[in-house]
Every structure is written in C-alpha cells, then in structure tokens.
C-alpha cells in the first residue's frame, strides 16, 4: 500500500509528498506436506511468510473451507491439535494415533491479526499400518 501524505509546520505548508510504503504482512501458508512418521502417526509440516502460531484441523471428511463450509476454530473438521503459540515460520505438528479410513488434514496459522488456512492434504490409511 502506498500513501502520500502532505504536512504543514508552523506557518509553512510543504507540498512535496512523502511516500510511505507498507508491506502486506498477512499470514500466508505454503509447502504443506504430510508424512507418515510411525505406526498410525503422521507429521504435518508447512511454512508461513511471517512468524505465526500453528495447529492442524483434521477429520474423516474433506471440507471445502474456501467454498464457505465450516467456521473457526475447526472449520468443519472433527478434531484439532492444540495450538502451538510460539511463533515461527517453519511449522511441524505430529498427530497420532490416526486410525480408520481416509483422514484429511489442513494447517491453520495466525499472527494475532490475520489467519491463514492451508491446503487440505489426505493420507491413505493403508500407509498407516506397520512401522515406517
């Protein structure tokens, strides 16, 4: 965002504009990944462009959040991990045990001002058996 400000001092008016550029610091999520790290355990990792907290919402049913389904804090998902309140740009959350059918995961991060919801990822339950 660019703003031009004109200012005056005692008895004088300066007409030369001062340009102030402010960067957009809204939280953005990228590099969402899900990895099987052990029997019935997955790790969900993602990156944010600014330091932010993080958690993962998940459940057995896919959610079309961007189409308006679900509201905060779980956005329609059955479960949520506890929020990690230490703000970082690299995030990792382990979830387990994950059992049953297909499970869908989506990272959520906030910097206290804006909230970002990452891309939904799913895990095939056949990958969850045995040790990795």
- Cα–Cα distances in Å, from 104 out to 15, 30, 41, 94? 57, 17, 13, 14
- Can you give the pLDDT at residue 127? 67
Tens-digit pLDDT profile for residues 3-36 = 444 444 455 444 445 444 445 679 999 999 999 8
Q: How high is the pLDDT of residue 65?
A: 67
Residue 125 has pLDDT above 80, yes or no: no
Which contacts (CB < 8 Å, 24+ apart) does range 11-14 have?
none
Please give the pLDDT value at position 53.
Answer: 95
pLDDT, tens digit (0-9, with 9 covering 90-100), for 74-120: 888 999 999 999 999 999 999 988 877 788 999 999 998 988 999 99
């Amino acid at each position: 965002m660019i703003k031009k400000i004109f200012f005056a001092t005692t008895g004088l008016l300066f007409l030369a504009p001062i340009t102030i550029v402010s960067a957009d610091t809204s939280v953005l999520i990228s590099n969402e990944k899900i990895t099987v790290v052990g029997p019935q355990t997955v790790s969900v990792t993602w990156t944010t462009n600014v330091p932010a907290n993080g958690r993962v919402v998940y459940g057995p049913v896919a959610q079309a959040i961007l189409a308006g389904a679900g509201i905060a804090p779980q956005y329609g998902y059955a479960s949520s991990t506890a929020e990690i309140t230490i703000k970082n740009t690299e995030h990792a959350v382990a979830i387990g045990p994950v059992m049953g059918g297909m499970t869908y995961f989506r990272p959520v991060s906030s910097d206290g001002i804006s909230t970002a919801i990452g891309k939904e990822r799913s895990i095939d339950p056949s990958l969850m058996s045995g040790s990795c």
